[in-house]
Amino acid sequence: MSTKEEKVVNAILKYRNFLFLILVSVIALIMRLKLFSFQSYDFRIFLLPWYETIEKLGGIKALN
């Protein structure tokens, strides 16, 4: 292995926890963006009507 390759390998090993954290964060962000428009059954049945009522009554003012 050349010295450049050794430096790269050593850098990866030195920062492997940080690189793992970045990788997991990027994967989580991609998954969140892909599933952003997904609405589960319980959301549609229970929460969406409640949210629509609050929105129709003026947002925060409806929570008085």
Over 80: is that where the pLDDT of 64 sits? no
What is the pLDDT at residue 13? 93
Over pLDDT 90: what percentage of the chain? Answer: 77
Q: Is the pTM of this model over 0.75?
A: no
pLDDT tens, 13-42?
A: 999 999 999 999 999 999 999 998 999 999
Q: How far apart are CA 6 and CA 13, in angstroms?
A: 10
The contacts of residue 62 (CB under 8 Å, 6+ apart) are 53, 54, 56
Distances (CA, A) of 44 to 2, 5, 17: 59, 54, 39
What is the pLDDT at residue 32? 94
